[in-house]
Amino acid sequence: MPSMNELVRQHTALSDSDLEWLHLLVSEWQLLSDLSFADLVLWVPTRDGTRYVSVAQMRPNTGPTSYQDDMVGHLVPRGRRPLLDAALDEGRIVREGDPQWREEVPVRVESIPVRREGRILGVIARNTNLLTVRTPSRLELTYLQSASDLAQMIAAGSFPSSNQVVDMDASPRVGDGLIRLDADGIVQYASPNALSAYHRLGLASDLVGHHLGVTTAELAPSRGPVDEALSKVASGWAPREFEIESPEGVIQFRAIPLKPKGTRIGSLVLLRDVTELRRRERELITKDATIREIHHRVKNNLQTVAALLRLQARRIESERGREALEEAVRRVGSIAIVHETLSQNLDERVEFDEIADRVLAMVSEISPGAVTARRTGRFGILDAEVATPLSMVLTEILQNALEHGFGPGDTGSVEVSAVRGGTTKESRLLVTVQDDGVGLPEGFDPHRSGNLGLQIVRTLVEGELGGTFDMVPAPERGTQVILDIPVRASK
């Protein structure tokens, strides 16, 4: 299905600022759809003015749909739908008398012009499925009246508000709780969910007939100068989102002033009880902080172990014993680098390029000659269970290349190359470590070598990482180590 951007730019003459206004409208129009119990389809005239193209569609959460199929991308000639023509040409909301019949379902159709800065950009077709129509309740009448006011504001160009950016995924919706206020901030209607939310805050009575701002300020735990501002915001004088937290619960609010004819006649207040959501968020924050603290302590402990090994190495007279302890120090250090990075992140994923560069710098210190080490390509973001063994593998391979590929006074280079590839769900990491040293001995088999470092590499790559490992002569000179590892795709 083509996107709104593609359809608007391909078929219409709207500017980028007009397109942004349509995006703002579409980000908000779930509210109109739910209040209307109706499907919405946004039609925009084509560049030559002979047709309409549908660029967006919304179905209601509060009632049955009128369109089983997706309408986005459809083109209809001008004249086929007279209501669209009338709304576009006359700049007013147009309602037809008799319903249309679609697959034995009666549908009431209305057209709402979309105005911006005095110009009509397109028309919203509002389609209401009448199959389940019954005598409306007080809640439904309030919904429909509020929808009518919002429709008039869209036709006048005063909704949505360009001064407020709303995250609709997190913002309260119609079904969460709705309060209708008059121009003075007095509650005319409160849905059962809205009343339950206020009971959660400590309200013992009904809301209807009370001033919502004053009532909200009295229930809020804070007192003093902030009460006056809270009272005004809760009265719906301006489009705002806010939260109130009391010992009993947390309620999220969204106020929408209603100005169908340019003058404020009241407000809609949407609200949602987010007590449990905020409790879980706090638990996650606490859990994340605990995990980061654990990684920090593990890093400190590993650094302590490394320091003890260094002290022990200085006191060993055996050259081989000292070298073995120094190798152990580097292995412990590579793990400590990963835990240090994890202690600074909010999740169990790390940007491995920084870790690879630090491992390169750490291992380069043991170079017997003037050997330079560098990285090309990107490892990208890796899970902790991949990053930890991979850092050890990289340490062993680099250490092996520098110790066995070059002698005292030799010059050369070691290059670590990383390439990510694969699908969006499955990705593979191809790592190549290549040096221009003396190369492999005659008849050397890396899969049977008794060298401890290569045994560690084989075990970690094949066992822990589920990948493959090979060591072959480089194309020109030296040695090339190739790792192929499955990883989770970067987001």
> Beta-carbon neighbour count of residue 431 at 10 Å?
23
Mean pLDDT of 71-79: 94
Mean pLDDT of 43-69: 93
> Beta-carbon neighbour count of residue 443 at 10 Å?
5
Average pLDDT, the chain: 86
Distant-in-sequence, close-in-space partners of 288: CB < 8 Å, separation ≥ 6: 346, 347
Strand ranges inside 12-137, DSSP E: 39-45, 51-58, 75-77, 94-95, 100-102, 105-116, 119-129
pLDDT digits (tens, 9 = 90+) for 322-336: 878 887 887 787 778
Q: Which is it for strands 370-377 and 411-422: parallel, antiparallel or unpaired?
A: parallel
**CB 65 within 8 Å of CB 39:** yes
pLDDT of residue 165: 59
Cα–Cα nearest to 267, from 254, 279, 252: 254
pLDDT digits (tens, 9 = 90+) for 336-370: 877 777 777 666 788 888 888 888 887 777 666 67
- Kindly report whether the peptide bond that precedes residue 221 is cis, defined as omega within 30 degrees of 0: no
pLDDT of residue 228: 60
Residue with tokens 């959660």: 200
Q: Residue 44: pLDDT band by 50, 70, 90 thresholds?
A: very high
pLDDT of residue 369: 64
DSSP 196-224: HHHHHHT--S--TTSBHHHHHHHHSS--S
User: Above 70 in pLDDT, residue 225?
Assistant: no
Helix 212-219 to helix 226-234 angle (10° resolution) is: 130
pLDDT of residue 420: 87
pLDDT of residue 366: 67
The tokens of 349 are what?
């994923």
The region, left, alpha or beta by phi > 0 then psi within -120 to 50, assigned to residue 103 is left
- Which of these ranges, 76-90, 173-187, 265-279, 388-402, has the smallest mean pLDDT? 388-402
User: Phi then psi for 327, rounded to 5 degrees?
Assistant: -65, -40
> Which of the given ranges, 38-42, 278-282, 469-473, 480-484, has the highest pLDDT on average?
38-42
Q: How far apart are CA 31 and CA 37, in angstroms?
A: 10
More confident residue, 12 or 297: 12
User: Above 90 in pLDDT, residue 39?
Assistant: yes
pLDDT of residue 381: 87
Q: Residue 169: pLDDT band by 50, 70, 90 thresholds?
A: low
More confident residue, 367 or 89: 89
As to burial, measured by CB atoms within 10 angstroms (0-12 exposed, 13-18 middle, 19+ buried), residue 146 is buried
What percentage of the chain exceeds 90 in pLDDT? Answer: 40
User: Phi then psi for 141, rounded to 5 degrees?
Assistant: -65, -40
pLDDT of residue 452: 77
| Alpha-helical runs (H) found in 365-430 | 384-405
Mean pLDDT of 238-247: 86
pLDDT of residue 168: 60
Q: What is the distance between the terminal CA atoms of the chain, rounded to a whole angstrom?
A: 23
More confident residue, 120 or 352: 120
pLDDT of residue 331: 77
| pTM greater than the 0.85 cutoff | no
The tokens of 146 are what?
């509020």
**CB 109 within 8 Å of CB 100:** yes
Q: How far apart are CA 381 and CA 411, in angstroms?
A: 33
User: Above 70 in pLDDT, residue 489?
Assistant: no
pLDDT of residue 368: 63
Query: Looking at this protein, which amino acid is placed at residue 152?
Result: Q
More confident residue, 367 or 372: 372
Q: How far apart are CA 486 and CA 94, in angstroms?
A: 59
More confident residue, 142 or 294: 142
Mean pLDDT of 38-45: 96
Strand partners, 431: 418, 483
What percentage of the chain exceeds 70 in pLDDT? Answer: 93
| Alpha-helical runs (H) found in 157-208 | 192-201
> Beta-carbon neighbour count of residue 183 at 10 Å?
15
> Beta-carbon neighbour count of residue 197 at 10 Å?
27
- Distances in whole angstroms, Cα of residue 449 to Cα of each of 3, 349, 400: 57, 33, 13
pLDDT of residue 123: 97
| Alpha-helical runs (H) found in 272-318 | 275-314
Q: Residue 232: pLDDT band by 50, 70, 90 thresholds?
A: confident
- Which of these ranges, 250-259, 404-413, 445-454, has the smallest mean pLDDT? 445-454
pLDDT digits (tens, 9 = 90+) for 443-487: 787 777 667 778 888 888 888 889 998 888 888 888 999 999 988
pLDDT of residue 188: 96
Q: How far apart are CA 342 and CA 291, in angstroms?
A: 9
pLDDT digits (tens, 9 = 90+) for 283-315: 777 777 777 777 778 878 888 888 888 888 888
pLDDT digits (tens, 9 = 90+) for 185-195: 999 999 999 99
